[in-house]
Amino acid sequence: MRAGWRAGVTGLGLACCLSAQGALIDITTTTGNIQKKIDEAGANDEIYFHAGTYNVNLTLKSNLTVSGEEAARTILQGSSANAPVFTLNGAKVVTVQRLTLVGAAPGIAIQNASSDIKIRNGIFALNANVNAVTVSADSTAAIENNTFFANGTALQLAADGSTAKYNIFSENSTAISAVSDNGIDYNCFAGNTTDGRQGGHATTGGKSLRFVDTTHRDFHLRTDSLCIDSAGSGTDIIDGSSLLDAGAYGGQYADPLPYPVGDLKATVTEDSNGTYQIALSWNGNASYLVDNAANPGKYTLFYDSKAGPPYEGGDALDAQGSLIASGVKTVDHPLTEFTLFGLTGAASVPAAPEGLTAAPSDRKLTVNWSSVPGATGYILYYGVDNVTENEVDTRDTSVSLTGLVNGVSYHLAVQAQIDKKYYLAVKVGDNTGRDHESDFTQTQATVGDPQLSSLSEPIAAVPEKLQAYPDLPNEGCFIATAAFGYYEAREIRPLRQFRDRYLLASSPGRAFVAWYYRHGPRAAQWLQQHPDYKPTVRILLAPLIGFAWLMVNYPLSALVFMLLSVLLPIAWRRWRAGEVT
Amino acid sequence: MKRWLLVPALLLSQLPVQAGGWSGEVQYGRYYPEAERWSDYYGSDRAPYLALNFSYRLLPFVELGVDAGRMHDHGRAVLPSSGSQTGSVDTNIYPLMAQAQVSARFAPGQWLVPYAAVGAGRIYYRQVIAGQDAAEGNTAGRLTRAGLALNMNILDSKAAAHMRSGYDISHTFLLLERQRISGKINGAELGGDATVLGLRFEF
């Protein structure tokens, strides 16, 4: 896209202006210190933000251009909401273009004798109490072809000398605060609480300027927008019109890319002949450059059985039964759906994975296995009592299971699967015939049921038990701990509380605890080695735990219960004896 | 014989403190565990220590009571296969001792009162390694304490009067004390030395 941009600009006879162009400094969302990149930039370098969201408060120096890849999708948000995204302190010859600024106060502060500043083709949607662009009395700037939406004061010019042209001001508290109308021309106003200085050739209208979708910050203009061709004569880079659109998508420096389609959905259904179809639908692009009955834009559909781009097609048919071998199909707006036919699901059953191993560490098992030819994914099963207690879907042959309990034995097995997945994408192109296409909107769909292998040979592994210093012995409830899996199990707490409150309070109780501590570990070890008996032990322990819980929480009712369980059988016997005699 | 018995009885009756009466202490300071490599695993050779003490004055010089403390430290565990430190460990040690204390109080206006105590009881512990069973238990332990008590009543008689009338506290002391706690389980050392500052309230 970037190369296309520069070629387009040069093609318009502006090569003269780019001769002094410096280096291009790419910024992505993973770039570390962006301020440092700016500080280290040379004269006439261009800081180029790729599409994405950035949390920044930056200070710009002289002789610099700051650009966004796409105005709507290159979003700069203040990392501090109370500071400007861009501060220009005494900076000269700076251009800021094709960016969306949000969440800062103000968006751009131009001050301390800054001059020859160009702010263009940007979108300012900060918030209702915040100024979008402020220019101090000792500074000057050219503010052109921007869209200001729902700000406090959109543009604050403290003195004459700056220009404000071809902008759209919509739903701001105040559109332009300036000392005079000088330099203010061809702006489009609607729905502001106060327009302020309108200057010459102003276009005014109702509240809505007919933006495509303000929620998603798509400020392209709809067909009946009053800001289309409203900004006097010039050249619109997008459609080549000699009448300029106002706002971020007008003029010769505008971002020409349509906004990608939204809400792409893929619905799979099975046909009567055993094949499948994928019905794709999406939200149409409502920009006037696409949504035009006489000259509509178009949507290009892509598909592939492997992730793209590139998308290279495959075995899908269209409604007429023709093979879409290339993987590309074009439909004209306003059609926003298309169906792929004749798709088949996975055919072969994969072999069971082999070579399952597990490397133990602290609360973690790193599980590996050999890849299975043709497998598109794997399901790793693991559990303490049963291998199918938990499962993890993965496309890799290695999984790290974390959050496990050290010293507990886990059973593991893996299953290979083959599914038939289709990767789908849609682009929208405008009606200008200039190859302006949006970015991909992508989705995927699985056709048919996945084919699953049998389970691999199961293995058991124990996350390594850590040792503390000093290595203190545990005198806890060994058997119950082994039966319930871990020491902190909710069910074991009453037993511990019962031990502390009742057993340790008397010498027979202490003798029992001592006896238990001598023999309990052996029984617990046996139980760990024979996990099949754990459910039985848990059932056997249940009345004991219930009694301990009663004794800890409701000792009186526990005693009554005990008394009744002795007296009732005696009474029953006596009654029966009396009945017989 | 009766005359010989009369002398100590007379001396005791002249002492500034009579038998009977409760006292309570709250102490806070540093516990220096005796386990040699403590700092390797916990990052420091000391840990915070809080103790409470309640005692009854059986004789003018002698008190019997209970001392309960808590030491807590947070450190790293060891992966036995590699010997590398990983995970996290919380170790708590709770000495609970019955003790007898002797104080050298000879005059009503004595600023500094040296005292010493010995005790015996249990040392409880709870050691939690994140992600696995906690280790908890107890073992026999011994306690020796010695320190100096600064009589605060003499420093501020107005406050002392207020404490007496408002809270029934006859004397308040500021304590500086050294403690020695001993106890082992399976060869693992639980004991250590503690240096604490505290307040003692006599009722």
Instruction: Annotate B37-78 with DSSP letters as a single string.
Output: THHHHHSSS-EEEEEEEEEEESSSSEEEEEEEEEEEEEEEEE
Q: Which of B121, B131, B128, B133 minimizes the C-alpha distance to B191?
A: B121
Are residues A350 and A451 in contact, defined by beta-carbon separation less than 8 angstroms? yes
Distance CA A145, CA A118 (A): 10
Which residue from B35, B87, B136 is facing A466, i.e. has the nearest CB? B87
Read off the pLDDT of each residue in B136-160 and give the average, rounded to a whole number: 89
User: Whole-prediction pTM value?
Assistant: 0.58
pLDDT at A109: 96
pLDDT at A3: 39
Check CB contact under 8 Å for A406 and B75.
Answer: no
Fold of B19-202: Porin (2.40.160)
B contact test, residue of A365, A469, A487 with most B CBs within 10 A: A469
Distance in Å, alpha carbon of A483 to nearest chain B alpha carbon? 13
pLDDT at A6: 42
Check CB contact under 8 Å for B77 and A487.
Answer: no
Q: pLDDT per residue over B15-71, tens digit each?
A: 556 667 899 999 999 999 999 899 999 999 999 999 999 999 988 889 999 999 999
Q: Which of A463, A256, A405, A439 minimizes the C-alpha distance to B128?
A: A405
Check CB contact under 8 Å for B78 and A404.
Answer: no
Q: pLDDT per residue over A524-545, tens digit each?
A: 767 767 778 888 888 888 888 8
pLDDT at A129: 86
pLDDT at B60: 82
Chain B residues with a Cβ under 8 Å from any Cβ in chain A: 35, 37-38, 40-42, 75, 77-81, 86-87, 89, 91, 125, 127, 129-138, 185-186, 188-190
Q: Chain B residues with CB inside 8 Å of A404's CB? A: 131
Check CB contact under 8 Å for B132 and A469.
Answer: no
Check CB contact under 8 Å for B35 and A361.
Answer: no
Q: pLDDT per residue over A90-145, tens digit each?
A: 999 999 999 999 999 899 999 999 999 999 999 999 988 899 999 999 999 999 99
pLDDT at B174: 95
Considering Cα of A153, then A155, then A160, then A164, what sign does the dihedral take? Answer: negative
pLDDT at A7: 37
- Which amino acid would we find at residue B12? L
Are residues A278 and A267 in contact, defined by beta-carbon separation less than 8 angstroms? yes
pLDDT band at B149 (very low <50, low <70, confident <90, very high): very high
Q: Which of A262, A247, A303, A291 minimizes the C-alpha distance to A120?
A: A247
Number of H helices, E strands in chain A: 8, 38
Q: Which of B16, B59, B51, B35 minimizes the C-alpha distance to B145?
A: B51
Asked if pLDDT for residue B135 goes beyond 80, the answer is yes
Q: Which of B154, B157, B145 minimizes the C-alpha distance to B114?
A: B145
Which residue from B38, B87, B127 is facing A362, i.e. has the nearest CB? B87
* Residue ranges of chain A whose pLDDT lies below 70: 1-20, 206-209, 475-489, 504-505, 514, 517-518, 521, 525, 528, 579-581
Q: Which residue of A has its CA nearest to B125?
A: A472
Check CB contact under 8 Å for A474 and B91.
Answer: no
Token code pair at residue B17: 């403190």
A366 CB burial (10 A radius; 0-12, 13-18, 19+) = middle
Q: Which domains does chain A have, with CATH numbers?
A: 22-221 (2.160.20), 262-346+421-451 (2.60.40.10), 357-417+453-461 (2.60.40.10), 478-564 (no CATH)
A516 CB burial (10 A radius; 0-12, 13-18, 19+) = middle
Provide the terminal-to-terminal Cα distance of chain B, rounded to the nearest Å: 36
Q: Where does A507-554 have alpha helices with state H?
A: 507-529, 534-553
> Hey, how many other C-beta atoms are within 10 angstroms of the C-beta on A148?
32
Q: Which residue of A has its CA nearest to B34?
A: A470
CA-based angle A38:A44:A48, to the nearest 5? 50
pLDDT at A208: 58
Asked if pLDDT for residue B195 goes beyond 50, the answer is yes
pLDDT at A504: 67
Q: pLDDT per residue over A70-97, tens digit each?
A: 999 999 999 888 899 999 999 999 999 9
Q: Chain B residues with CB inside 8 Å of A483's CB? A: none
Distance in Å, alpha carbon of A364 to nearest chain B alpha carbon? 10
Read off the pLDDT of each residue in B116-127 and give the average, rounded to a whole number: 94
A contact test, residue of B74, B123, B133 with most A CBs within 10 A: B133
pLDDT at A5: 45
Check CB contact under 8 Å for A466 and B40.
Answer: no
Distance CA A153, CA A109 (A): 13
**DSSP three-state, residue A421:** strand
pLDDT at A554: 84
Token code pair at residue A118: 């160009």
Check CB contact under 8 Å for A467 and B78.
Answer: yes
Q: pLDDT per residue over A390-413, tens digit each?
A: 999 999 999 999 988 877 889 999
Read off the pLDDT of each residue in B81-91 and give the average, rounded to a whole number: 86
Are residues A153 and A164 in contact, defined by beta-carbon separation less than 8 angstroms? no
pLDDT at A207: 54
Distance CA B61, CA A469 (A): 41
Distance CA A163, CA A133 (A): 12
Q: Where does chain B have alpha helices with state H?
A: 2-13, 38-42, 152-155, 157-167
Distance CA A144, CA A316 (A): 48
User: Any idea where the domains of chain B sit in the sequence?
Assistant: 19-202
pLDDT at A10: 36
Q: Chain B residues with CB inside 8 Å of A463's CB? A: 131
Half-sphere exposure of B20 (CA within 13 A, CB side): 1
Q: Which residue of A has its CA nearest to B136?
A: A474
Token code pair at residue A93: 């010859």
pLDDT at B5: 53
Asked if pLDDT for residue B193 goes beyond 70, the answer is yes
Own/partner contacts of A225-232, CB < 8 Å, gap of 24 or more, are A225/A288, A226/A188, A226/A190, A227/A168, A227/A188, A227/A203, A228/A288, A230/A186, A230/A188, A230/A203, A231/A145, A231/A165, A231/A166, A231/A186, A231/A187, A231/A188, A232/A166, A232/A185, A232/A186, A232/A201
Distance CA A503, CA A521 (A): 19
CA–centroid distance for A437 within its chain: 24
Check CB contact under 8 Å for A486 and B137.
Answer: no
B contact test, residue of A364, A466, A488, A517 with most B CBs within 10 A: A466
Q: Which residue of A has its CA nearest to B188?
A: A470
pLDDT at B16: 56
